[in-house]
Chains A and B, each alone.
Chain A
Amino acid sequence: MFAQHAAKYLSETSGGVMCYLATMIPMDDEDLKRVSRHIADRQGWGFITIEEGLKLPRAAKALKGDEVVLFDSLTALVQNNMFEGGDYRPEYEAENIKEELKELAKACKHLIIVSDCIFSDALIYDEITEAFRRILGHAQIQAACVADVVLECAFSNIKVWKNEADIDIKAITDMYYTLNSHLTYGDI
């Protein structure tokens, strides 16, 4: 949710069009429900939606240049590419991710990349899951290199790791906390 507020803030301050880059490729009912919930979350926010779960250059081509893009998420993109068509593709290493993210960022006004932290638990994973962690880790480091701003969001707490664009992070967090003061147990 924080990223939606960041998109709204950047849209208001830059005059950009809010654009949601949806990456989930639904595989079952649970996925479809999650997609429905995400759509409901965004209702009334003014997002246009681009659906592209595999190829970032295709998403870049679909943009006009005046959008504030909320790319949700790098995790899903890596997963979709690793298991394109339902089969595990061990050859996928996200080796072009840095250039693809640069291209996507150039194609719009602002780009917000959402990812997940799956790197700090005490479990021994199977080879494929471990490969997923490794490739997502690589993709995140590349994303952090490309980005002007890197934020960690943990239980609504925001830690600024990098801010080279002089973005007013406090203004975004203030907006986020104000609008989410109604959150109750069960909200996700």
Chain B
Amino acid sequence: MIVVFGGAYQGKREFVLSEFKLTEEDIFVCQTDGKIDLNKKAIAHLERFILYRIQEGLGVFDFFEENSGKLEESIIICDDISCGVVPVDKTLRLWRDNTGKQMQIFCRKAREVYRVYCGIAERLK
């Protein structure tokens, strides 16, 4: 697994396309509708998928644990939503918390981890 994270609009997807020689077709871009294609080479906006699971009262960690085999070679792209004020809204608070915890799990498993800032990528692992 490879993990790429960073703030919104920092150029994460462009970095993945260029660094790993992918095309847009290789990337599944999550919306907030719960859909995800684990067979794609890369999954972008993981945080949106997690938000849907929380809004619908579905488990987050169990889902990824059950599907961990399919994600072993995936590139996970996720917005870093951890740096702002803790939201008052409970759903958003859970979203921030669960995204953080899931990303910690992914980063521990990943062989490569990158943070992208202003279009510049730094390899953390």
Which A residues lie at the B interface, using CB under 8 A? Answer: 117, 119-124, 133-134, 136-138, 140-141, 143-145, 150, 152, 161-162
Contact = CB atoms under 8 A, between A and B. Distances in A.
B68 interface: no
Nearest to A135: B9
A149 to B, nearest CB: 11
Contacts of A137: 7-11
Question: Which of A121, A122, A161 gathers the greatest number of chain B CB atoms within 10 Å?
Answer: A122
A143 B8 contact: no
A140 B93 CA distance: 28
B84 A122 contact: yes
Contacts, number: 66
B59 interface: no
B11 A120 contact: no
B119 A122 contact: no
Contacts of A143: 118
Contact of B120 (A117, A124, A162): A162
Ordered nearest first, which 4 A-B pairs have the shortest CB separation?
A121-B84, A137-B9, A119-B7, A122-B96
A117 B118 CA distance: 10
B118 A150 contact: yes
Interface in B7-40: 7-11
Contacts of B93: 122
B119 A144 contact: yes
Contact of B79 (A117, A120, A138): A120
A133 B95 CA distance: 20
A80 to B, nearest CB: 19
B101 to A, nearest CB: 13
A145 B92 CA distance: 34
B104 interface: no
Nearest to B120: A161
B122 A161 contact: yes
A122 B81 contact: yes
A141 B118 contact: yes
A121 B99 CA distance: 12
8 contacts: A119-B79, A120-B80, A122-B93, A123-B84, A123-B92, A137-B11, A150-B117, A162-B120
